[in-house]
Structure 1
């Protein structure tokens, strides 16, 4: 029998926490090197461990919690860097926020990423991050050829809100402090409670798809072309 399984539950939990700490420390070291000259090492390390704590608050399965925290921290640092260097030529950023980030916000972000093809950065978050993305949501997106590998529910944080040029909320919209210059919309698309049928999920995906296409067209119309933002030639 596996030696770890012979250990009492308390010892196995302690061993798991020690392993997570080592993974988080290695992640912090990597991100500190990546963001050298941009962020102080202390800020990067704090971001990694804060991200872990934020995900741990609602996680029921902790097996991959440390790696997910690393991805979460990396994205938050990218958002923070965008906030510091934002100008007219920056790639537009959109944040979709739902109650638990398990359905509508994930659908919207995945669709926008799919249609924008790198022209827009899309993120999703929840007021309280759920345990996992709804499997029916993943199935319906996969039917459209949309890759959803690695997606997971995330709590909304101020750094991703600050980075967003557009904040789109579903369900309750209280609790989001949108910063000056950020456009905010509330999309009235029905939720997906437990037990929702595949047909209903498909209807919600279609409804969000229509709104995402409209949003993308709005962003494309409002975003200056490179030629428009280039400095006029003199001679």
Structure 2
């Protein structure tokens, strides 16, 4: 792994789970890690309930834009984490790869999204410990 590891969070629409994970990793690890997120079929905008749930934690993801997943982003990342999207999330052989089984916040209310958010936070905290950053 490079001196400063790069983590890539991948989700189909890059509008909820992957954006929350990126927001938490940036907030917790700061500049000790490079953070990217992308989607195989990115949405036009972020999920507003995910934005609200993160704002409750003091993390502003409102200005983020869903991005398309590229081979270069994968190649430049030390850790690739998919968000439990099933077959819609590609597998990346040769990388440190994890698939986090997370409910999709799309169409869910704030209570459900808070639970997803809190699960993501716990996983990010464990990832930070594993990376030693």
Q: How many Å separate the matches in 2 of 1:177 and 1:188?
A: 14
Q: Which has the higher contact order (CA 8 A, sep 6+)?
A: 2
3-state SS in 2 of match to 1:95: strand
Structure-1 residue corresponding to 2:125: 213
Structure-1 residue corresponding to 2:110: 198
Q: How many Å separate the matches in 1 of 2:18 and 2:48?
A: 14
Where does 1:16-35 land on structure 2 (aligned, <5 Å)? none
3-state SS in 2 of match to 1:125: strand
Structure-2 residue corresponding to 1:127: 40
Structure-1 residue corresponding to 2:54: 141
Q: How many Å separate the matches in 1 of 2:59 and 2:76?
A: 25
Q: Deviations over 1:187-227 (max 9, x none)?
A: 00111232x1110010000011100100110001xx7xxxx
Q: 1 or 2, which has the higher helix percentage? A: 1
Q: 1 or 2, which has the higher strand percentage? A: 2
Structure-2 residue corresponding to 1:11: none
**Unaligned stretches of 5+ residues in structure 1:** 1-86, 224-235
Where does 1:1-235 land on structure 2 (aligned, <5 Å)? 88-89=2-3, 91-170=4-83, 171-172=85-86, 176=90, 178=92, 180=94, 182-194=95-107, 196-220=108-132
**Unaligned stretches of 5+ residues in structure 2:** none
Structure-2 residue corresponding to 1:20: none
Instruction: Name the TM-score, length of structure 1 as normaliser.
Output: 0.53
Please provide the CA RMSD for this pair. Answer: 1.7
Distance 1:163 1:204, change over 3 A: same
Q: Give the number of the structure whose alpha-carbon radius of gyration is greater.
A: 1
Distance 1:145 1:160, change over 3 A: same
**Structure 1 contact 173–186 (Cα < 8 Å) conserved:** no
Deviation at 1:150, TM superposition (A): 2.4
Instruction: Name the TM-score, length of structure 2 as normaliser.
Output: 0.91
Q: How many Å separate the matches in 1 of 2:66 and 2:30?
A: 22
Q: How many Å separate the matches in 2 of 1:140 and 1:186?
A: 22
Deviation at 1:131, TM superposition (A): 1.5
3-state SS in 2 of match to 1:167: strand
